[in-house]
Structure 1
Amino acid sequence: MKNYLILFSLFVSVFMMANINLPAIFTDNMVLQRNAEVVIWGSASPKEEITLKADFLDKEYKTVAGNDATFKFIIPTGKEGGPYKISLKGYNEVVLNNVMLGEVWLLSGQSNMEMSASWGIKDGDMEVSKANHPNIRFFSVPKLSSEFPQNNLYGNWQICTPETMKNFSAIGYFFAQKLQENLKNVPIGLIASAWGGSAAELWTPKEVFEANPLILDNYKKIKPSEYYPSQIAGAYNAMIYPLNDFKMKGILWYQGETNTGNPDGYKDLLASMIASWRKAKADNLPFYIIQIAGYTGWSDTTVRIKNAQRIVAQSTENSGLVVTSDLDKTDDIHPKNKKPVGIRMANLVLKNNYGFVNGLVESPAHKNVDFKENKTILQFDFAEGLHFKNKSSELFEVAGNDGIFHKAKAVLKGNQIILHTDAVAKPVEVRYAWSNVAIPDVYNKAELPLSSFTTENLK
């Protein structure tokens, strides 16, 4: 009996010591950001010495777990490549296989970011059948909400196959496919953390609301739903915060539909959310916004969300906007034509963040307005080859001091548009495509549409 007790005691001691644990973001098949200093962290027994080895490293790294039972390695990754093996050894050993070094992007927002080929996207069956890309990897964050920031989440990295692509973000997949085509098969890792129906407030850290009473007041107007929580910062705490130490190249954001019910303050909310994410990661990450499309089931407050997204993208450093209003009819809350959205986003990223010169890849963007007597003169960025889709535009309006807008005749003069209407003797405001269901009719030579905009001073 004494011998059995000794053996049992030894077994328990070994079991208690064999406790290197890694967060779920570190699994087989993962992608680590290339050419970077990346963090690998986890938990172990206090004072446990841990050794990290990897095929792409020229030396071993050692650390000792702290008295809080956590450890952290900061290691260089170097250029793209793989597959590699990473091992962490202490009292036990954890081995990660088929690890790639490449480009890592986070995808977040609501259902149109979450939407996969299995939802019935355009040409979905054909795209699924071709989705064999072993150097594209997916990580899907499950829907989780928490009152407090969490240290871990669930999930695992998967290789892109027809079976895995079918249930992953379609926009994300097409984005990765285009990136890889231009980056010559550099591995791409996509982390999808999205929740259909979620308001932007759900993705914003609590301290933003504490610092801005107006944002907090707007949050209180969110109506509860049986499909998503309305808990302040709930998704951020459970679905973004655990990823803050994981090195990424950038972030793609497609959200705003739920906030159409209360558009006041969305501009400040989105800008504050972006700043808070960057601060938490201590990295001025590229942050790209996909503008929501129109939908006949929404009120015309929708266009105010689109305008807010435009302003934030234009005024935020290291950001950009993808306009989508021209790609589908307005009768579907989940537009099916996802491939052009992913490609437009990839083209922006390739130009801005990878130095590829692929011609004009930006939509025309409102830059400046001059009011001269009864005429309005508009200037635009990215306006090369500016033209009207139907030989004329029916979507411009101007207003005088009375604030009443009237349809205006638009005339192209080079890369400028000049507006006039006899109904307004002295215009002071102008807007374009100011309707939930307006389909753009102004494009540049790349056939990219002009976003809705207004010069009104809206919240």
Structure 2
Amino acid sequence: MRSFKNRFLFVLILAAGVANTAMAKVSLPTFFTDNMVLQQKSSVPFFGTSSAATVKITTSWDKKSYSATTKNGAWQVELATPKFGGPYTITINDGDNLVLKNILIGEVWLCSGQSNMEMPLEGWGKIKNYKEEIKNANYPEIRIIQANHVDSAVPLETLSVQNGGWQVCSPATIAEFSSTAYFFARKVYKEKHIPIGLIHSSWGGTVAEAWTSAGALNTMHDFDDVLKGMATGPDKNELQKKFDAEIKVWNAELEKADKGMQGTTAVFAAANYNDSAWKTMKLPNFWEFDALVGFDGVAWFRKTITLPESFAGKDAELEFYADDDDKIWVNGTYIGATSGYTVQRHYTIPGNVLKKGENTITIRVFDGTGGGGIYGSPDDMFLKSGSQKVSLAGDWKYAVGIDRKDLRPAPYLPQGQNRPSALYNAMIHPLLKYKLAGVIWYQGESNADRAQQYQTLFPLLISDWRAKFGNKDLPFYYVQLANYMQVKDQPGTSAWAELRDAQLKTLKVPNTGMAVITDIGEARDIHPKNKQEVGERLARIALAKTYGVKIEYSGPMYVSHKQTNNIITLEFKDNTGLKTADGKALKGFEIAGDDQKFYWADVKIENGKIVVSSAKVAKPVAVRYNWADNPQGNLTNASGLPASLFRTDSWPGITDGNK
């Protein structure tokens, strides 16, 4: 009897073990999926979780098996990857088999920054020739993975991704992906024919400190108060409570000061309001490029359109883009509001609001800083009912509600994605074990008003990432800000120039490279459409510095200067074939004496050097080049690539001391 019981107990234990094994389910990070790319010739951490005691991993490229013991449910092995190739499989067995298929071994690049890195081929981006580019995007050995927008006060272990993980680059997958990253990969692939994996983790409108770890930021002390608030609940809640109270008061002050409002009534939106005295502006168009140069605040727009009877009584869709926040009324009826400058507006106009004949649309736009108004292409602005579409592009009446300079400064609390370390925590930290070939970065617009601080912050970010990824030599290639905003007739100050200067200074950090694009920006669009050239210029740097390809990747770079009597002579590296890009006279150079007053300079090329002078400056001491928001300098070399801005002086800038 005892023997039977023992055998019965043994069978139960064995059955429980089998059931336990069958129930074991391996779980992998979101970036270990079919179609992924692993870094070639590396020891690659491969890890996950399981309820089983051991996990067996087999790689098809070498038919090697690895055994991992789970600890607290987690396991990890180091996979030895060969020279590039594939496709391969990885089999993970913890009682059940999980097979990852169509894996390539190649080069993995992390692509990060703000909206110009995020800008997709189609979607809100609509880059140059986007339809043709999407149609031709058949590169099965380029693989892409897209991180979701997530922020966090503490480091996360899981990366939130779109589309279930890695995808094969094709016309069906590329449209909403980073255009700069894609064109970078395409250029490298065409030159090297090595599989390329792109991890895209960026977020429009974000600041560099959000992408830097709290530990690194603590070394510069500019963000201590906010970091303290993020780290400790009571402090954070107290800061938030204080900010909420202050911004509520400020918004009330804004509404009260807005000429278009009387209490809670939008008088400028009334159906019978007389706007005959208002001026006219063509939309879509950033107001900085029309009559409201340098304006931040509230502006109201009104347009009366004539609709056919077929629109009456039917719901209609109204679409446009606005920067930053808007509210809309139709025939005096409030329709809704939207916030965010990259968000396309989609409003449904109820059928009982529209009528046959004249209808008046009123849009109130608030812009806090930078470009403002209603922007995009004429095709982006329309009213649609069924198959009928009425364009809203053209002349609109406008009036200023309130100029922000007439208000006290708004309260500020870094929130959400722009809290220091918040994006590093959620969108970089989960990736730290993923082996990379390098990083490409396009960011800076959101830090332009703190350009002097960026001289410390940006190199800190680079060293921080290198330390966290465990590679002190990790290549880090970035884009200098494009030319943007109005062209100025005379030399002057510029926060954007100071930010570009901070980016230039960062080249002192080893294993970095900078793509200069001040020749392909757009005065009226902070998101220039020619992302093909941006990506290819980054790729040129990578090909030359990472992959050893003999390719020109830099325009002239200022090295030193010498003052003799009334002239200053400038020396450059990458000075072979100094010339102008357009075959015309050199421009963009300005010169000053001890009074720090700059004048446009007379410039000539002599023996690979630039000689600068001005009849207005008897004893020059300083030269600047392309020192403007939208510089027009045309210096290049045999490569045809533009020279970076530079200055020979160290005089105080307009962003000095800004925190």
**Structures share a fold, TM > 0.5?**
yes
1:202 Cα shift?
0.7
Going from structure 1 to structure 2, the CA distance change for 1:326 and 1:382 (only over 3 Å counts) comes to same
2:399 corresponds in structure 1 to: none
Q: CA deviation at 1:414?
A: 2.1
Contact 1:440 1:451 in 2 (8 A): no
Instruction: Tell me, in whole angstroms, the C-alpha distance in 2 between the residues paired with 1:429 and 1:223.
Output: 37
Shift of 1:424: 2.6
Partner residue, 1:391: 584
Point out the more displaced range, 277-286 or 326-335: 326-335
SS in 2 for 1:327: coil
Counterpart position of 2:649: 456
- 1:3 aligns with none
Name the CA shift for 1:216/1:454 in 2 (closer, same or farther; >3 Å): farther
Could you say which residue in structure 2 is the equivalent of 1:270? 458
- Name the SS of the counterpart of 1:424 in structure 2: coil
2:86 to 82, 85, 92: 82
Partner of 2:108: 104
Measure how far apart 1:93 and its partner are: 3.0
Structure-1 separation of matches of 2:575 and 2:474: 27
Task: Rate the CA distance shift 1:15–1:395 in 2: closer, same or farther, 3 A.
Answer: same
Structure 1 residues 16 and 429: CA distance shift in structure 2, 3 A:
farther
Corresponding residue number in structure 1 for 2:288: none
> RMSD of the TM alignment (CA)?
2.5
Structure 1 position 321, deviation (Å): 0.6
Contact 2:150 2:417 in 1 (8 A): no
Give the Å deviation of 1:325.
Answer: 1.2
Q: 1:101 is paired with a residue of what secondary structure?
A: strand
8 A contact 1:218–1:264 mirrored in 2: no
Aligned equivalents of 1:84, 1:222: Cα separation in 2: 54
- List per-residue Cα deviations over 1:124-183 (Å, max 9, x = no partner): 101111111111100001001011111111220001111211111111111111111111
Per the alignment, residue 190 of structure 1 pairs with 198
Secondary structure of residue in 2 paired with 1:181: helix
1:307 aligned to 2:496? no
Q: CA deviation at 1:207?
A: 1.2
3-state SS of the aligned residue for 1:213? coil
Native 8 Å contact 2:216 2:460 kept in 1: yes
Task: Please show how residues 35-434 of structure 1 align to structure 2 within 5 Å.
Answer: 35-45=41-51, 48-66=53-71, 68-118=72-122, 119-155=125-161, 156-184=165-193, 186-214=194-222, 223=412, 229-283=417-471, 284-296=473-485, 300-312=494-506, 314-358=507-551, 360-388=552-580, 389-434=582-627
Is the alpha carbon distance of 1:87 and 1:280 closer, same or farther for their aligned partners in structure 2, counting shifts above 3 Å? same
How far 1:90 moved relative to its partner? 1.6
Greater shift, 34-43 or 104-113, is seen at 34-43
| Equivalent AA in structure 2 for residue 148 of structure 1 | V
Partners of 2:530 and 2:226 lie apart in 1 by: 32
Give the distance between the partners of 2:522 and 2:605, measured in 1 at CA.
27
* 2:633 corresponding residue in structure 1: 440
8 Å CA contact 2:56, 2:68 repeated in 1 = yes
Aligned partner of 1:263: which letter? A
Structure-2 change in CA distance of 1:331 and 1:390 (3 Å): farther
How far off its partner does 1:11 sit?
Answer: 10
Deviation for aligned residue 1:235: 0.5
Alpha-carbon distance in 2 for matches of 1:223, 1:366:
38
In 1, the alpha carbon distance for the partners of 2:602 and 2:633 equals 16
Change (3 A) 1:394 1:380: same
SS in 2 for 1:262: helix
Whole-angstrom distance in 1 between the partners of 2:411 and 2:182 = 31
What SS does structure 1 have at the residue aligned with 2:503?
A: helix
Going from structure 1 to structure 2, the CA distance change for 1:149 and 1:340 (only over 3 Å counts) comes to: same
What is the TM-score of this pair, normalised by structure 2?
Answer: 0.65
Instruction: Give the Cα separation in 2 of the matches to 1:330 and 1:88.
Output: 53
SS of residue in 2 equivalent to 1:83: strand
CA separation in 2, counterparts of 1:38 and 1:222? 46
Counterpart CA distance in 1 for 2:144 and 2:534 is 19
Residues 419-428 or 377-386, more deviating: 419-428
For 2:212, give the aligned amino acid. T
Equivalenced residue count is 447
Q: Distance in 1 between matches of 2:632 and 2:49?
A: 53
**Aligned equivalent of 2:40, options 16, 34, 37:** 34
Alpha-carbon displacement from aligned partner over 1:303-359 (angstroms, at most 9, x marks no partner): 1111111110x201111110111113321111001101111111111111111113x
Gaps of 5+ in 1: 1-5
Describe the shift of the 1:326–1:207 C-alpha distance in structure 2 as closer, same or farther (beyond 3 A): same
Rounded Cα–Cα distance in structure 2 between residues aligned with 1:405 and 1:80? 54
Q: Is the 8 A contact 1:222 1:230 kept in 2?
A: no
- Are the aligned partners of 1:202 and 1:231 in contact in 2 as well (CA < 8 Å)? yes
**SS of aligned partner of 2:570:** strand
Gaps of 5+ in 2: 1-11, 230-409, 488-492
The letter of the residue matching 2:30 is A
1:12 & 1:302 partners in 2: Cα distance? Answer: 65
1:280-324 deviations in whole A, cap 9, x for unaligned?
A: 011021000111112217992111111111110x20111111011
Q: Matched residues in 1 for 2:607 and 2:68: separation? A: 63
Alpha carbons 2:156, 2:425 under 8 Å: kept: yes
Give the 3-state SS of the residue equivalent to 2:558 in structure 1: strand
TM-score by length of 1: 0.92
How far apart in 1 are the matches of 2:605 and 2:85? Answer: 50
Tell me the distance in 1 between the aligned counterparts of 2:456 and 2:425: 20
Q: What is the identity, as a one-letter code, of the residue corresponding to 2:116? A: N
User: C-alpha displacement at 1:261, in angstroms?
Assistant: 2.8
Alpha carbons of 1:169 and 1:413: their partners in 2 closer, same or farther (altered >3 Å)?
same
Distance 1:407 1:197, change over 3 A: same
Q: Displacement of 1:209 after TM fit?
A: 1.9
Alpha-carbon distance in structure 2 between the residues aligned to 1:223 and 1:95: 50
Partner of 1:21: 27
After TM superposition, the structure 1 stretch with the greater mean CA deviation from structure 2, 433-442 or 134-143, is 433-442
* Secondary structure at 2:418 match in 1: coil
Cα shift readout 1:6-49 (whole Å, capped 9, x = no counterpart): 89x9599638951321110100100001111111111223x711
Question: What is the CA deviation profile of residues 348-384 of structure 1, one whole-angstrom value per residue up to 9, with x for unaligned ones?
Answer: 11111111113x2212111112222322111111111
Which digits, 9 at most, give the CA deviation of each residue in 1:35-68, with x for residues without a partner? 11111111223x71111101112421112112x3
The separation in 1 between residues aligned to 2:497 and 2:23, in whole angstroms, is: 58
Contact persistence 1:442–1:449 (CA under 8 A):
yes
One-letter amino acid of the structure 2 residue matched with residue 391 of structure 1:
K
**Shift of the alpha carbon at 1:437?**
1.0
Q: Percent identity?
A: 35
